[in-house]
Homo-oligomer: A and B are copies of this chain.
């Protein structure tokens, strides 16, 4: 590699901006898709940032002292990848032949398959919330002076999650967070709500506690000054730079014109554009390096986690076991917890009391909570985030994107009987459909605690459902609960039917088996605590042993939950002879006690026993 220019003055920064534009056009035209105009508007902002302010060791993306650069407007990927070319970590050839091509790491929207990318973006309104998580880690855990620079689009300021992010950034005094808003006035289909009204944006950002800088986003000197001031981490407020820009800046045929969103320039136009922009350049630059001599954060030590032990038969809610186990996990310095203002119900408050420096109250902002978890994960922490299971639906898009971010985060959702708005009857379906996820639903405190420990080392998105009510402990302390396994708390050679439950319905299955035993019917019971991955072998063996007769009971709507996991597993294991009854919540529930609701939904012991009798009678 030729020697890069490390002293990037403003004249050179302006040149760099033109290069980024040219390369954004060239790469997207070569790919036949992409967003060149959305890249061109922000090119000067990024040129000055990367050339003069971003403290980053491009040869060591894992350097903990590195600043962070997040493209919340992920569709401006041509600009990001053109930056990578300008600093010499991606070749011009890769840019021109890889961008948006099948199998390439230069995807249409950035993902962490690239070592310089912290989080996947492309669903708008997520990069800034993710950045809040990284900035929280920097200020409170890493205790390093790195800054988190987030390039935001103006359109995405309509997403409430951006305001959740600024709210939390000011609440947590994240002076190390800088949102750079590329106010180019135009969205996909036309003008934005606020157009170029920088004052309106500024009032909002200031009201949410940010230091606000309004600049001409094509004036490199003005940009430079704003970045210098915004990047000062000595204060207590996050910074928002509002940059008035022009979409497609620099090419008169598209600049500030509608109907050029997300369209590559046709080759002839691209040629004219490159000429108007002064031709191709191959500047190789490096901005400031991160501070030397920064101590690397100590690796998580191998402190032994002492799980809580419960007596068999003792009534303990699994939510309490979550709190107990999380406190036990606290000996691991990488474990961080968050909650959505219900920690006294989820029992996350136990961790908050034991490890206040690693607990972050996220208040009622589930999107930001999951995004913060992703940010913590990007910095190597192991986040646990809890709220009522129903309210994780609020963060579905963030959970989905967390999977694309290759994040390893642990989500814990509590369920209880308090009417349909509060009861999660969709969470298992949502979480099972997340790529690479793990979904756990323990029935007792022993298994819950063991599985919390397991979650702390799982890759990807893991989710545990906990139960509000206290149920008898079923397993001895020390029993193992491998992820992907199942327990068979009741079985005999003469079993005629298999009853499958998890969580509260496992207790109903056990009661049903007791009823059936009194009638001379031998029922096997499976505790399907691992809903995904699921123990196909145990299910298939039980089905084979009991004439294919299965009853599955779940406190969830009939689609996508426990019953689906069972049927998917059993039918996925080859030709199947199956007689299955699936008991699930098929009517809209109202208020009531757990017992009333279990009965009304047809998922109680009596219904399970009746289903088993019916299956046997039909054969």
A→B interface (CB under 8 Å): 33, 74, 100-104, 107-109, 111, 113, 120-125, 155-156, 158-164, 167, 171, 187-189, 192-193, 200, 203-204, 206-208, 259, 339, 341-345, 349, 361, 363-365, 367-368, 390-391, 393-394, 396-397, 400-401, 403-404, 418-422, 425-426, 429-430, 432-436, 532, 548, 556-561, 563-564, 567-568, 571-572, 574-580, 582, 588, 590-593, 596-597, 600, 618-619
Select A422's contact among B122, B429, B432, B567, beta carbons within 8 Å. B122
Given A419-B108, A421-B121, A426-B434, A364:B577 Cβ within 8 A: no
* A567: chain B residues within 8 A (beta carbon): 564, 567-568, 571
Nearest chain B CB to A490 CB, angstrom units: 24
Given A100-B591, A575-B548, A123:B394 Cβ within 8 A: yes
The answer to whether A591 and B108 have CB atoms under 8 Å apart is yes
- In the bound complex, how far is the Cα of B33 from the Cα of A591, in angstroms? 11
- In the bound complex, how far is the Cα of B582 from the Cα of A435, in angstroms? 16
Select A404's contact among B394, B401, B420, beta carbons within 8 Å. B420
* A203: chain B residues within 8 A (beta carbon): 206-207
Given A559-B568, A576-B577, A102:B590 Cβ within 8 A: yes
Top 7 nearest A-B pairs (CB, nearest first) are A160-B160, A122-B421, A102-B592, A560-B560, A429-B433, A203-B207, A396-B396
Identical chains in the assembly? 2
The answer to whether B435 and A390 have CB atoms under 8 Å apart is no
* A596: chain B residues within 8 A (beta carbon): 102
- In the bound complex, how far is the Cα of B572 from the Cα of A160, in angstroms? 41
Nearest chain B CB to A305 CB, angstrom units: 26
- In the bound complex, how far is the Cα of B421 from the Cα of A111, in angstroms? 9
- Closest chain B residue to A156 by CB distance? B364
- Closest chain B residue to A103 by CB distance? B590
Given A397-B391, A590-B107, A560:B421 Cβ within 8 A: no
* A578: chain B residues within 8 A (beta carbon): 571, 575-576, 578
The answer to whether B588 and A188 have CB atoms under 8 Å apart is no
* A429: chain B residues within 8 A (beta carbon): 429-430, 432-433, 559-560
Nearest chain B CB to A595 CB, angstrom units: 9
Q: A123-B421, A429-B429 are in contact. List 8 more A-B contacts (CB 8 A).
A: A108-B591, A111-B590, A156-B364, A187-B341, A207-B207, A548-B575, A568-B582, A576-B579
Given A341-B189, A559-B568, A574-B579, A122:B430 Cβ within 8 A: no
The answer to whether A108 and B561 have CB atoms under 8 Å apart is no
Given A394-B123, A564-B559, A571-B578, A159:B404 Cβ within 8 A: no
